[in-house]
């Protein structure tokens, strides 16, 4: 079959790879119908070398139709339309039992974040087909009447954005700062509004993205033109924001999130800070302000059942972020467009 394969830094190739095969009785094989490029795919694109990682099929945001199931898969049958969690849980260990599938004791035996599709140990879904381990735990049936694009982002970035609002404990009446208006930031804004935030301050350097945030009901802020701390204080009688959600993955924006919240504020870091240190004066920034800081890899298995009904009821329309649609064979160009922020790109969706 054909797939988008990582071959090294900035070397993304559309090529033949072996067809996926059932290896364990809990596996399923999917024919992929839709798949997307994610900001975290770009960490491979920029990061390590081929010598570090070898060659593997990319992609952790995908859905499709079941072609084959192992003898122990109970909840699904051949022909079902399903979406798949980006992280792989076993569904049976002590941490999966606590909804912490991202820390699954079986699937992270090789270390943290080794249980994500589209990484060296788990061939991904930017391909014509994929093997899904522990299918009963990691696959979710797509309701009749919803099309692929409406549910595709439940695989990762919609639950990730919602998790930001959840970890920051966004509550009715709160003033919430969301730093970053990329795909995850957009979903964090929408999630904060759904949870009853009184005011969402959307922060980005891109005025085009800020205009869209304003249309969504947010108060736009470009930090090259306005001071976030001052604006947050001026809109909250001098206190500062109640919560901040960092959706960039940069040490400076993590610090900005901690700075703009009030004493007792809650900060969620859902951006991926990869290969960089975040330094902070712990006493004045955290202890002295009684801050709560939380972060994590998303557990779509926990959030999908909560978010899917909101899409079915029309309260959430995740398709608004799609700017580019292309054939899987054009994937390498898709990565270039996404990486270079060409053509006002926000999200690239591919069809094999
Ligand atoms: Zn992703
Ligand atoms: Zn587990």
Do 198 and 178 belong together in one domain?
A: yes
CB neighbours of residue 274 within 10 Å:
12
CA of residue 26 to ligand 2 center, whole Å: 13
For 225-228, which contacts have Cβ atoms below 8 Å and span 24 or more sequence positions?
Answer: 228/177, 228/201, 228/203, 228/256, 228/259, 228/260
Do 7 and 146 belong together in one domain?
A: yes
Least confident range from 31-45, 72-86, 237-251: namely: 31-45
The ligand that comes nearest to the alpha carbon of residue 134 is 2
Do 332 and 252 belong together in one domain?
A: no
CA of residue 137 to ligand 2 center, whole Å: 9
The ligand that comes nearest to the alpha carbon of residue 105 is 2
CATH for 219: 3.40.50.720
Do 112 and 253 belong together in one domain?
A: no
Do 77 and 223 belong together in one domain?
A: no
For ligand 2, an ion, list residues with CB under 5 A.
Answer: 89-90, 93, 96, 104, 106
Query: What's the pLDDT band for 112 if we cut at 50, 70, 90?
Result: confident
Question: Where in the sequence is the domain holding 55, given as residue range(s)?
Answer: 2-156+299-351
Q: What is the model's pLDDT at position 138?
A: 98
| Averaged pLDDT score across all residues of the chain | 96
If you average pLDDT over residues 98-113, what whole number do you get? 93
Q: Is the pLDDT of residue 145 over 80?
A: yes
Residues 13, 43, 347, 134: what is their CA dihedral angle, to the nearest 10 degrees?
80
∠ CA 31-35-41, nearest 5°, is 125
If you average pLDDT over residues 301-310, what whole number do you get? 97
Query: What's the pLDDT band for 275 if we cut at 50, 70, 90?
Result: confident
For 56, 82, 191, 273, the CA distances from 317, given in Å and listed in that order, are 32, 19, 11, 28
Quick: pLDDT tens for 6-56. 998 889 999 999 999 999 999 999 999 999 999 988 888 887 776 778 899
Do 186 and 215 belong together in one domain?
A: yes
Rounded-to-integer distance, Cα 38 and Cα 40, Å:
5
Do 326 and 243 belong together in one domain?
A: no
Q: What is the model's pLDDT at position 130?
A: 98
Do 235 and 257 belong together in one domain?
A: yes
CA of residue 135 to ligand 2 center, whole Å: 12
Do 231 and 88 belong together in one domain?
A: no
For the chain, the farthest-separated pair of C-alpha atoms sits apart, in whole angstroms, at 61
């Amino acid at each position: 079959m054909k797939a988008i394969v990582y071959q090294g830094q900035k070397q993304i190739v559309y090529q033949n790879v072996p067809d996926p095969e059932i290896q364990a009785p809990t596996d399923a094989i999917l024919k992929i119908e839709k798949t997307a490029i994610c900001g975290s795919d770009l960490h491979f694109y920029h990061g390590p070398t081929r010598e570090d990682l070898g060659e593997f099929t990319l992609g952790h945001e995908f859905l499709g139709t079941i072609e084959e199931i192992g003898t122990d898969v109970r909840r699904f049958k051949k022909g079902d339309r399903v979406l798949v969690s980006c992280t792989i849980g076993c569904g049976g260990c002590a941490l999966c039992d606590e909804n912490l599938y991202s820390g699954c004791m079986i699937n992270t035996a090789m270390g943290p974040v080794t249980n994500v599709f589209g990484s060296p140990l788990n061939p991904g879904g930017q391909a014509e087909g994929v093997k899904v381990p522990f299918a009963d735990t990691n696959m979710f049936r797509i309701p009749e009447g919803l099309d692929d694009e409406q549910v595709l982002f439940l695989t990762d970035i919609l639950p990730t954005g919602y998790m930001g609002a959840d970890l920051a404990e966004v509550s009715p009446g709160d003033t919430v700062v969301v730093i970053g208006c990329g795909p995850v930031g957009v979903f964090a804004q929408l999630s904060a509004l759904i949870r009853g935030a009184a005011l969402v301050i959307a922060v980005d350097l891109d005025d085009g993205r800020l205009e869209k945030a304003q249309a969504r009901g947010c108060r736009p802020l470009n930090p090259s033109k306005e001071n976030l701390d001052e604006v947050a204080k001026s809109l909250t009688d001098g206190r500062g924001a109640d919560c901040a959600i960092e959706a960039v993955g940069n040490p400076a924006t993590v610090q900005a999130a901690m700075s703009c919240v009030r004493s007792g504020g809650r900060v969620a870091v859902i951006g991926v800070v990869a290969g960089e240190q975040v330094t902070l004066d712990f006493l004045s920034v955290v202890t002295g302000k009684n801050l709560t800081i939380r972060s994590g890899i998303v557990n779509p298995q926990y959030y999908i059942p909560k978010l899917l009904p909101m899409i079915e009821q029309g309260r959430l329309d995740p398709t608004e972020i799609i700017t580019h649609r292309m054939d899987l064979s054009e994937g390498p160009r898709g990565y270039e467009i996404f990486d270079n922020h060409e053509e006002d790109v926000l999200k690239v969706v591919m069809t094999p």
